[in-house]
Structure 1
Amino acid sequence: MPSNDIAPAINETQPSFNLDDYKIIVEGSTSILTPKSEADVFYNPVQQFNRDLSVTCIKAWANLYLNPKQEGKEDIEEPELKKIKIEEKEYIKKFTILEALSATGLRAIRYSKEIPNISKIVANDLLPAAVDTIKRNIEYNKASTNVIPNLANCNAVMYTKEFDCIDLDPYGTVAPFIDAAIQSIKNGGLLLVTCTDLQVLAGQTYPEKCFALYGGSNLMGHDATHESALRLVLGLIKTTAAKYGKYVEPLLSLSIDFYVRVFVRVHNKPIKVKDNMSEQMIGYMCHDCDSIVNQYLGKREERTSKKGKPYIKYGLSKAPTSSTECKVCKSGVQHLVGPMYGGAIHNKDFIKEVLRINKEEHEDNIYKTRKRIEGMLTLAYNELPDTPFYFSPSKLSSILKISVPSLKYIVAGLGSLGYECSLSHAQPSVLKTNADWNTIWYVMKEYVRMKEPNYKVEKLNENATGYRIMTNEDIKLNDSTKSISFEPNDMSYKIEKLRKLKMVRYQENPTRNWGPKAKPN
């Protein structure tokens, strides 16, 4: 069992460095010293969004689950958590954080300055030069009271120590660190995970490497490949945790710029691990028309016994209904994707608290990405919770060889048939819906019939995907009582209202040639 001990903090002495040898980088509440040669330090200013968001999410986790304001909401059973008495009969639990791959120590020092009730932050790195940098920045920021530099392999630390929060932000994949992190984190703790290897997680060239690292394959070439990247990372974390009787609850999962970032709670709840089989899925993705049929690997049914007591029945999933031929476009090419996590990737209560903190407690001069946090998390909050994958009307229009319709028409069409729609934080001008792909393509065909009077299907090549879809009479509604309309309705009004909000939803180019930096030597 991991312990709670760690090396003592460094003693404050006279400055052991000459300020003239360094340049000062300011981010949030923290200033760090870096060598005047930029090649000697790994600092990426574009990642300030990641760090600002992480500060806010840790605060939200502490408010909701560690020190809840409402009685009865606390569910972390950790009697050994340190407590301090602040008023008569009122206590606050303090908590520990591990920044496993700290580099300059910037993130750890920001946590110590900006997040209340932290008892200890371990800023760990494997490289002696990095730990020297961390010590220098701790000294410069007078943060040695609760920030502890540590030279070690982070897996060795996590296999032998316990923490309430663990932040994993590696260069590339997080796969080598997940097992140790799961064993190190306390019951109800917060795990923050970044993966920057999107060429593997969301690209089209390394399916074998994606499977080796994450246990599944992504939606290669599909518009929703960045959501499949999130679901692959969540699937890796959940299946790893299940081996140790731990259940992982996604709180917030974001595709950001050149990386993905997920925030999850880890519970010691073996009984909830039973749900993992019914949460994991594979998918059958058509190479030609982008249609996807999802297949969950197990089933979970709520039943009632003869004595009237509810219980859960787990069982095997039925055999796949999808064939080698796509039912929409009659293509012979169907790709198998996954397995990956197929459940909800966000927790609305958590996002609501993050948005509240971002609005009420943070200021622009410290958190310079506040507006983007507001925009991206507002979209995430409004996403359909249990609907894997989004689609691009632009991509579907290119298949049919028509002008791209306004999103409001596609939403209105789906809404008139009783389906829900939402936007996605991961990509602009895409839609999530609980309609199946047969219905999505039915709406597209009806749009062509009603809104494109000059469209001639005869002009399409008979071997083209668009021709096969337009002439496929099996694409129709199963419910004859429904009729489609592209007139505005409640669903289209809701989406248009969200689209018209003046928010920074996606990345704005901060500098020339911005993006992931080269791996440090």
Structure 2
Amino acid sequence: MSDTPRDLGAPPAEGQRIQHNNVVYTTVREGHAYILVPEDSTKPGQVQQVFYNPIQQFNRDLTVLAIRAYGKERLQQKQSRMGRNADKKRKRKEQAQAGRPAKSPKLEEGRGAEADTEMKDAVEQPAEQPTEQPESELANPAGEAAEANGTEATPANETPQTAGNGDAASRKPVPFTILDALSASGLRALRYAHEVPFATKITANDILQTAADAIERNAIHNGVRDKINISVDDAMAHMYTVVVDELRRAVTRKPVPNTKYDVIDLDPYGSAAPFLDAAVQAVRDDGGLLCITCTDSGVWASNGYPEKCYSLYGGVPVKGWYSHEVGIRLILHAIEASAARYGLAMEPLLSLSVDFYCRVFVRIRRSPITVKFQGGKNMVVYSCGQGCGAWKTQLLMRNKAAPNKKGNGLFYKHGFAQAPTVPQNCEHCGSKMQLAGPMYAGRIHNNDFIKAVLAETEEAPADVYGTKERIRGVLHTALEEYLPSPEEQAAAEEGKQLPPEAQLAAIDPYPFYFLPPQVSGIIHCSSPPEDALRGALIGMGYRVTRSHIKAGSMKTDAPWSVIWHVFREWIRQRAPIKEENIKPGSVAYRLLGLGKHKAEKAAEAGEEKMETPAEGEAQEDAEPKDKSQDKPQELPPVVFDEKLGKYKQSQKLLRYQMNPRENWGPMTRAKGR
């Protein structure tokens, strides 16, 4: 390729030199997008004009695939809704022609039916199949009327999505809008314009004019300037403007289009917490998608700044190896609390802690019924952070099921939870328990959504999505994290699903993972092989899987008493330790029961010296007292069966990232931002 710089309008290519306004740029390719990086941007004393972070390509690749999977389902729902609206319009027209007055839908359905509809909408349902209608019945006037009322009632066909009367040139595309709220160089907006074919408008917003200039240069060079709307504004101000426009439309009842976004992407440098209130209102409340990144893991996944975590996310972090999963739940709690103020419900679709940041995808729906369950789907955690690391959870409220008056279903009462549920000291090692939370207690993933994103990943070309293999591995691992509750398992065995109300009340009964090497370090023994430890727990009747957050992690439905029992058996059977090396009174000393063993040995020695009671004396004093009620329930034998515990996988997956180079992590904030 020639080193002579070319014009901004030249066809883009990787490594190309472009000259514009006396500045020479080099193109960097990611996905189908090309961004222009000034050649003098790294010289001392020069202001950084563009910010490109290759470390987050995984984030961007995943987001594109997630939006594609989400958008296809959403467009099907819009088409189905349009079909229903066309049916209703045709029926009203037929009734008018027959001279019969059209019945009001509200009078026909009644308040009870409306409540049932809201309950069904609150629980995720499979995408409805589009209703086939003659083309004449999918006329554009009906779509225009629906659009005037703030709804898209145009059908969603193959991309680009179009609907209307007449030839293809006169048809209007079904609106699907995306906001890149903190756009910087505009790379995300460029990729959405190229790789989300059904997106009709992408707004790239940044508070700096220099960033807006960079976005415009990149959009022109990529040939997508007509598809990208550039906004120079504070992200919160921009989103609140959308909210105000919607409120004005609702108050004045003017027939103007709904300006809320189908998708909002928040990727700030640091915490996304300041933007949450505006984002939950600016995204569409009929199932809009929020894509949120938080890179301040030093706040939500460590014990160094609990006051900062509380001020940003409304909860306190935990001290423990599972702190990153706690961080995910703290962020979800903050999103849910922001949404609930406005009668909006949050549904987590995919929640990941990767590298140095957290990335969550959540769906927002207007559903006051779902909001009522929120107190019973948030929890506090009692953590033995200074001792053995065990935890215990406690819900903030109770969602208690009761039969309805007709006896053919359930309704839920929302009341207070009992407290406290644990003593001040850890039942396993005696250390002081610490309090963390409140945090989200429900499922952090939606398996159907993960499968849809996986399907997109399999079809994605590897030369475009450079992190495809890692995305596949992480998604498969997230899918495997699911451990059904006893109620869910019983329903699955009968081939059924939980009732909609029960689904709204469902929580994640096994929210955190543990790390065998960390547990082994507490009791000063060698760590058992992963397969052997899994085999032992499975052999005892428990389920074990892994977490996407950390290699070697384990999630299980076994209680901590069983986990410690297995590790004590590991020491007894396979990895003996020198008791004299364990400091008396330490956590390991108490967990291994060394002091108790010595006392029992002394007691046994004293009993041997006791004389046999004379015949005729009261035997109740001589015979040992039955303490069966005081002893814990006997556990089945522990067998470290590596064959039983071996993961059975048909394909090799890249589940956990290996740092590709030194100093892999967040880059310095771009100057001037």
TM-score (norm 2): 0.70
Out of 429, 438, 449, which is 2:561 matched to?
Answer: 438
**Within the alignment, does 1:317 sit opposite 2:423 as a pair?**
no
SS in 2 for 1:353: helix
**Residue 69 of structure 1: CA displacement?**
11
The answer as to whether partners of 1:66 and 1:74 remain within 8 angstroms in 2 is no
| Structure 1 unaligned spans of 5+ | 1-11
What are the Cα deviations for residues 362-382 of structure 1, in whole angstroms up to 9, with x where unaligned? 111100000000111111110
What is the distance in 2 between the residues matched to 1:230 and 1:282? 14
Out of 474, 479, 497, which is 2:648 matched to?
Answer: 497
> Matched residue pairs, number?
500
**Residue 450 of structure 1: CA displacement?**
2.3
Structure 1's 280 and 118: CA in aligned 2 closer, same or farther, altered over 3 A? same
1:457 match: 579
The answer as to whether partners of 1:281 and 1:294 remain within 8 angstroms in 2 is yes
Q: Would you tell me which structure has more strand in proportion to its own residues?
A: 1
2:640 match: 486
**Within the alignment, does 1:66 sit opposite 2:75 as a pair?**
yes
1:7 match: none
SS in 2 for 1:497: coil
The answer as to whether partners of 1:179 and 1:241 remain within 8 angstroms in 2 is yes
**Within the alignment, does 1:80 sit opposite 2:151 as a pair?**
yes
What is the distance in 2 between the residues matched to 1:278 and 1:477? 33
- The letter of the residue matching 2:30 is E
2:140 match: none
**Within the alignment, does 1:290 sit opposite 2:412 as a pair?**
no
**Residue 484 of structure 1: CA displacement?**
3.3
Percent identity at matched positions? Answer: 41
Structure 1's 296 and 73: CA in aligned 2 closer, same or farther, altered over 3 A? same
**Residue 413 of structure 1: CA displacement?**
2.0
1:4 match: none
What is the distance in 2 between the residues matched to 1:93 and 1:188? 16
Out of 175, 178, 183, which is 2:281 matched to?
Answer: 183
What are the Cα deviations for residues 179-198 of structure 1, in whole angstroms up to 9, with x where unaligned? 00011110201000000111
What are the Cα deviations for residues 390-445 of structure 1, in whole angstroms up to 9, with x where unaligned? 11110111111111101122222222222211101100011011222222212211
1:413 match: 536
What are the Cα deviations for residues 445-471 of structure 1, in whole angstroms up to 9, with x where unaligned? 12222223x334343111221110010
- The letter of the residue matching 1:487 is D
TM-score (norm 1): 0.90
**Residue 307 of structure 1: CA displacement?**
2.8
Structure 1's 240 and 175: CA in aligned 2 closer, same or farther, altered over 3 A? same
**Residue 303 of structure 1: CA displacement?**
2.2
What is the distance in 2 between the residues matched to 1:511 and 1:458? 44
What are the Cα deviations for residues 197-226 of structure 1, in whole angstroms up to 9, with x where unaligned? 111111231111111111111122x11111
Out of 514, 527, 542, which is 1:391 matched to?
Answer: 514
2:297 match: 198
What is the distance in 2 between the residues matched to 1:197 and 1:285? 22
The answer as to whether partners of 2:156 and 2:174 remain within 8 angstroms in 1 is no
**Within the alignment, does 1:233 sit opposite 2:314 as a pair?**
no
SS in 2 for 1:67: helix
Q: Would you tell me which structure has more helix in proportion to its own residues?
A: 2
Structure 1's 513 and 82: CA in aligned 2 closer, same or farther, altered over 3 A? farther
**Residue 18 of structure 1: CA displacement?**
4.9
Out of 88, 92, 96, which is 2:177 matched to?
Answer: 96
Structure 1's 142 and 180: CA in aligned 2 closer, same or farther, altered over 3 A? same
What are the Cα deviations for residues 142-174 of structure 1, in whole angstroms up to 9, with x where unaligned? 102211111011111111221110000000000
1:269 match: 367
The answer as to whether partners of 1:99 and 1:167 remain within 8 angstroms in 2 is yes
Greater gyration radius: 2
The answer as to whether partners of 2:78 and 2:156 remain within 8 angstroms in 1 is no
1:251 match: 349
1:379 match: 477
**Within the alignment, does 1:468 sit opposite 2:622 as a pair?**
no
**Residue 501 of structure 1: CA displacement?**
4.5
- Alignment RMSD, CA only? 2.7
- 1:136-215 paired onto structure 2 within 5 Å: 136-161=217-242, 162-186=260-284, 187-215=286-314
What is the distance in 2 between the residues matched to 1:389 and 1:481? 23
The answer as to whether partners of 2:9 and 2:221 remain within 8 angstroms in 1 is no
Structure 1's 180 and 306: CA in aligned 2 closer, same or farther, altered over 3 A? closer
What are the Cα deviations for residues 6-47 of structure 1, in whole angstroms up to 9, with x where unaligned? xxxxxx999992586111111110111121114432110111
